[in-house]
């Protein structure tokens, strides 16, 4: 399975090898089991401003910048984009609601996987559409010694969020590697599309309520049912790459 997926990727992009040097991780739903909180916070914040967005829909927008998400909902319902002031108020409300919810736990299997990746001398990079300072600050606490501030791409760093490839292209740039020297680990269809559009081998981990088919249709090169399952299969996967 791993051999076939890697060979297909190499043929598609006309690369000779997958010379792995860096692993680019999404954060929410990959490293933290936080998407339930984001979904609930988006739903409640939108409702307070007379906009409709179900918690389930939040998973489909995962990875977009907050401004893009708000504008999509506003345009759908009001036939016009939100003003800059509205965007700021709605996102601030969403953040305040999010911060009242129970702290998201570390995703099972994530820390174990990161330790293996570091042990192999690979560089872990964060590429998130989140602007939640509360989660960003928790990275070092939950994953001590893993991430460096200069190897993080957040909503504050990019003009175009996922599914645009800009966040992952910036991740490559910060890590100093090429597309065939990295892999992406994502849980959201927009994030998968962004990784694929950047030309990077993209691993999907289905940690949410969406059907596997949604992630496959987004272009995922490999799909695992959880981070723990990916962790358990890491040795075999990395052996094939080497």
Backbone angles phi, psi at 139, to 5 degrees: -60, -50
List the domains of the chain with CATH numbers.
2-34+107-241 (3.40.50.1000), 35-100 (1.10.150.240)
pLDDT computed for residue 48 by the predictor: 97
> What is the average pLDDT value for the chain, to the nearest integer?
94
DSSP readout, 158-196? -SS-TTSSHHHHHHHHHHT--GGGEEEEESSHHHHHHHH
With cut-offs at 50, 70 and 90, classify the pLDDT of residue 156.
confident
Q: Is 28 a catalytic residue?
A: yes
pLDDT computed for residue 133 by the predictor: 65
- 26, 33, 68, 157: the catalytic one is 26
- Mean pLDDT value of segment 131-149: 81
Structure tokens at 145: 């010694």
Q: Are 169 and 146 in contact (CB under 8 A)?
A: no
pLDDT computed for residue 135 by the predictor: 59
Provide the percentage of residues in the chain whose pLDDT is more than 70: 98
Sign of CA dihedral 121, 119, 110, 131: negative
**Nearest one of 60, 52, 59 to 36, comparing CA atoms:** 59
List, for residues 72-92, the tens digit of each pLDDT value. 999 999 999 999 999 999 999
List, for residues 211-240, the tens digit of each pLDDT value. 999 999 999 999 999 999 999 999 999 999
pLDDT computed for residue 149 by the predictor: 86
pLDDT computed for residue 63 by the predictor: 81
Q: Is 26 a catalytic residue?
A: yes
């Amino acid at each position: 399975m791993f051999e076939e997926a890697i060979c297909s990727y190499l043929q598609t992009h006309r690369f000779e090898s997958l010379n792995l040097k860096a692993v680019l991780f999404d954060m929410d739903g990959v490293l933290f089991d936080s998407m339930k909180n984001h979904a609930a916070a988006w739903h409640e914040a939108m409702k307070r401003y007379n906009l409709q967005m179900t918690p389930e829909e939040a998973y489909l927008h995962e990875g977009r910048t907050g401004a893009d998400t708000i504008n999509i909902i506003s345009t759908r319902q009001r036939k016009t984009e939100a003003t800059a002031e509205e965007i700021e108020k709605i996102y601030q409300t969403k953040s305040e609601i999010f911060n009242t919810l129970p702290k998201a736990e570390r995703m099972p299997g994530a820390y174990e996987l990161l330790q293996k990746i570091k042990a192999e001398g690979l560089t872990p990079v964060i590429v998130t559409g989140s602007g939640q300072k509360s989660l960003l600050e928790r990275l070092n606490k939950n994953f001590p010694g893993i991430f460096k501030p200069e190897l993080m791409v957040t909503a504050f760093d990019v003009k175009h969020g996922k599914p645009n490839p800009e966040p992952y292209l910036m991740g490559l740039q910060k890590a100093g590697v090429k597309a065939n020297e990295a892999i992406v680990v994502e849980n959201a269809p927009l994030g998968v599309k962004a990784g694929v559009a950047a030309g990077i081998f993209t691993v999907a981990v289905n940690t949410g309520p969406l059907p596997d088919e949604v992630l496959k249709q987004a272009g995922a090169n490999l799909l695992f049912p959880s981070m723990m399952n990916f962790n358990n299969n890491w040795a075999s996967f990395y052996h094939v790459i080497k």
